[in-house]
Structure 1
Amino acid sequence: MNPIKKVSLLIPIYNEALFLPTLFQQIQAQDYPTTAIEVIAVDGDSTDSSLALLKSYQRTMPALMVLRNPRRNTPSSLNLAIAQAQGDYLIRLDAHTEYATDYVRQCVACLEKTGADNVGGHIRIKTTNRVTQAIELATTSVFGVGNSHFHYTQYEGYVDTVYLGAYRRQVFEKIGNYDEALIGAEDDELNYRLIKQGGKIYLSATIQSFYYPRDSLKKLWLQYFQYGQGKYGVIRKHTLPTSIRHLVPALFVLSLVLGILTSFYQGLGFYLLIPILSSYFSVLGLFTMRCTFPKALSLTGLVALVFLTLHLSYGCGFLIAGLREGLRRLHLLRA
């Protein structure tokens, strides 16, 4: 009989007081042997009661280690946790997510069964209002997120990235830790390096969690704007995009900008804008109806706005990151 593998749960935290009680209840409810689990929570100098809550949990959870990270960003918090982790397997958790009671056990089982270097499950959305319902519909559509398989609950197999992730310790020893300069894209970049060096990532339906998305269009915009900026950093670092889907929103926004600017010169830009906008809104309408008909027609307008938010914010973030890089190269902007 194989010995039970020790697991380290890595949790970056910043102002998560609302979600921490549920998170720690679910950690304590895991059906994996308690003696084989250590929990490392890294607080990014939260301004709410997150740190106080973590300290209170330590009184009843001897296996909980609490670290502080004044840099606040997620990849640096994860790297601090990795440096302290003693587990054979390192599982990243997120405070905005709920976990099945067998989450840890299924991660371990999948790692051992498949021999993969990283395993994870699908994103299952936990809705709290009409905006989150619309986000659920849009982000489980190929028009919303491209061929990002972990958004589609029916897919299982080898992929280029997964949600969160459970890694073998040797992964970090072999390819290094998270890139702390790529905030918002640290997972994608780490997984890109992993695959580039011969590693395998497996998506399993048995690993179940439920994610709380942003609850307003403004918060969704800021989230995907950061994702776009981070993805530019990944492509700049590795020269080539990890997938063509990462370039499409930026190309769409760039074509709109060029069309608007050239419209001031004898109206030439209209010849670019008209076919692009007519094509985009035709496809937008088609996929919006596919998402909402017939059971969610009341969300039609919101789903369309979510699609627009996903595409424009991601594309703007990507292009602005590129513009800043260009200005720095020309010494017109400080690093």
Structure 2
Amino acid sequence: MTILLTWPEGTWPAVSFVMPVLNERPYLADAVAAVLGQDYPGETELVLALGPSNDGTTELAEQLAATEPRLRLVHNPVAHIPVALNLAIAASRNPVVIRVDAHSEIPPGYARTGVETLRTTGAANCGGIMAATGRGPYQSAVARAYNSPLGLGGGAYHGGTEAGECESAYLGIFRREILTEVGGYDESVRRGEDWELNLRIRERGYLVWFTPELRVTYWPRDTRKRLSKQFWSTGVWRGDLVRGLATRTPLRFFAPPALVAGLGASAAVATVDRVRPLRGPTRVLRAAHLVPLAYAGFLALVAGREEGSARQKALLAEVIATMHLSWGAGFLSGVTRGGGQTVDRSRH
């Protein structure tokens, strides 16, 4: 593992924040304020890569930029996140690049902690916790699902407590020279672009580091329709990545597609059994019905562990099922047909 040379103690390299933006008017002003209000001793700038929004986001961004010299805008007509990030990085100037999102808010000491982490570890990239939070019943339930290891799985950035080497970093605080060396974000990967980029960084022998002190407030999707669209597209592109990276993909990513396949098998067996009842050895196929029974038990267990009313618990179970099934179905589509022209339309 290559440990990179670092900046002398007491010096603070200039930092460029880069933010892809599409239809984020309700969140953009707070996200920008959180970046520009950083308690960081060095020079900072923020570059927004503006997609073709239809909710007034671009007009708001222009208003903000008109009064803030540290804020600059670039346009991203194709709307894809990796393209937006590469455009913003190309337009930025500083040796440390910090990815931020309009759907997130970073704490005041985020940049300081991130640069200090790069300094002390010699890492090429570092990140921390995605601390999901919500407004209203549905978004709050989605946030609880994000923050539960039984909702999104075992990624460190959903609830890790120990600092250390990791496979991918949430958002990311990068050394510019490493981004340049590995070629930036792969613009053919529409979702999961962060995981793919960090894989290339690690394959070059560099360190990717997780530290729980880097805690970011994340506002997840706030309706069932938006959530299912987001997780479908994410699943599709994860499946597409697996086509070439199956042996380097953590096993937890295969759980949702296995669930969807099992539920599909149960439905198929039930249909056949109704048309022509299974007899003899073929009755063993009814074992497929254990999948929906086991999953229902899993959802009941997860909901039962959560505090709140019966309605809140039921909503949490529904949200987790939406995440798992949308992601798993998307994964199966991606692994069999590729990503194609699939895009995340949850913010359109």
Same fold by TM (over 0.5)? yes
Matches within 5 A, 1:150-165: 150-152=157-159, 154-165=161-172
After TM superposition, give the deviation of residue 166 of structure 1 in Å. 0.6
Task: Report the Cα distance in structure 2 between the residues aligned to 1:119 and 1:296, rounded to whole angstroms.
Answer: 38
| Structure 2 CA distance for partners of 1:99 and 1:296, relative to 1, 3 Å | farther
Equivalent position amino acid for 1:83 in 2? A
Matches within 5 A, 1:183-194: 183-194=190-201
Equivalent position amino acid for 2:326 in 1? S
* Of 218, 224, 229, the match for 1:217: 224
Matches within 5 A, 1:129-168: 129-152=136-159, 154-168=161-175
Secondary structure of 2:20's aligned partner? strand
Secondary structure of 1:122's aligned partner? strand
Task: Report the Cα distance in structure 2 between the residues aligned to 1:145 and 1:302, rounded to whole angstroms.
Answer: 16
Check whether the contact 1:119–1:201 (CA below 8 A) recurs between aligned residues: yes
User: How big is each residue's C-alpha offset from its partner over 1:186-243, in whole Å with a ceiling of 9 and x where there is no partner?
Assistant: 1111112222222222221222221111112221111111110110122123243521
Name 1:98's counterpart in structure 2: 105
Task: Report the Cα distance in structure 2 between the residues aligned to 1:167 and 1:320, rounded to whole angstroms.
Answer: 32
After TM superposition, give the deviation of residue 102 of structure 1 in Å. 1.2
* Of 8, 12, 27, the match for 1:4: 12
User: How big is each residue's C-alpha offset from its partner over 1:150-170, in whole Å with a ceiling of 9 and x where there is no partner?
Assistant: 111534322212221111112
Name 2:343's counterpart in structure 1: none
Check whether the contact 1:120–1:203 (CA below 8 A) recurs between aligned residues: yes
Equivalent position amino acid for 1:303 in 2? L
Equivalent position amino acid for 1:307 in 2? I
User: How big is each residue's C-alpha offset from its partner over 1:20-76, in whole Å with a ceiling of 9 and x where there is no partner?
Assistant: 21122222211114x611211110122232222222222222222211111111110
Task: Report the Cα distance in structure 2 between the residues aligned to 1:204 and 1:296, rounded to whole angstroms.
Answer: 34
Name 2:55's counterpart in structure 1: 48
Task: Report the Cα distance in structure 1 between the residues aligned to 2:117 and 2:263, rounded to whole angstroms.
Answer: 44
Task: Report the Cα distance in structure 2 between the residues aligned to 1:139 and 1:21, rounded to whole angstroms.
Answer: 24
Name 2:39's counterpart in structure 1: 31
Task: Report the Cα distance in structure 2 between the residues aligned to 1:26 and 1:139, rounded to whole angstroms.
Answer: 22
Name 1:271's counterpart in structure 2: 286
Name 1:302's counterpart in structure 2: 315
Equivalent position amino acid for 1:8 in 2? S
With 42-51 and 134-143 compared, the bigger mean Cα shift is at: 134-143
After TM superposition, give the deviation of residue 100 of structure 1 in Å. 0.9
**Percent of matched pairs sharing the same residue:** 30
Question: Aligned-residue CA RMSD in angstroms?
Answer: 2.1
| Structure 2 CA distance for partners of 1:199 and 1:319, relative to 1, 3 Å | same
Task: Report the Cα distance in structure 2 between the residues aligned to 1:324 and 1:242, rounded to whole angstroms.
Answer: 18
| Structure 2 CA distance for partners of 1:209 and 1:225, relative to 1, 3 Å | same
* Of 317, 335, 339, the match for 1:322: 335
Check whether the contact 2:237–2:338 (CA below 8 A) recurs between aligned residues: no
Task: Report the Cα distance in structure 1 between the residues aligned to 2:215 and 2:189, rounded to whole angstroms.
Answer: 27
Which consecutive unaligned segments of at least 5 residues does structure 2 have? 1-8, 341-348
Equivalent position amino acid for 1:3 in 2? T
Name 1:182's counterpart in structure 2: 189
Task: Report the Cα distance in structure 2 between the residues aligned to 1:17 and 1:300, rounded to whole angstroms.
Answer: 31
Task: Report the Cα distance in structure 2 between the residues aligned to 1:156 and 1:27, rounded to whole angstroms.
Answer: 24
With 239-248 and 83-92 compared, the bigger mean Cα shift is at: 239-248
TM-score (norm 2): 0.86
Name 1:330's counterpart in structure 2: none
Name 1:229's counterpart in structure 2: 236
Which consecutive unaligned segments of at least 5 residues does structure 1 have? 328-335
Check whether the contact 2:105–2:216 (CA below 8 A) recurs between aligned residues: yes
1:65 corresponds to 2:65: no
| Structure 2 CA distance for partners of 1:326 and 1:187, relative to 1, 3 Å | closer
Task: Report the Cα distance in structure 1 between the residues aligned to 2:39 and 2:339, rounded to whole angstroms.
Answer: 51
After TM superposition, give the deviation of residue 90 of structure 1 in Å. 0.6
Equivalent position amino acid for 1:301 in 2? A
Task: Report the Cα distance in structure 1 between the residues aligned to 2:287 and 2:84, rounded to whole angstroms.
Answer: 45
Task: Report the Cα distance in structure 1 between the residues aligned to 2:203 and 2:146, rounded to whole angstroms.
Answer: 27
After TM superposition, give the deviation of residue 323 of structure 1 in Å. 3.5
Secondary structure of 2:171's aligned partner? strand
* Of 263, 271, 282, the match for 2:297: 282
Check whether the contact 2:168–2:208 (CA below 8 A) recurs between aligned residues: yes
| Structure 2 CA distance for partners of 1:112 and 1:320, relative to 1, 3 Å | same
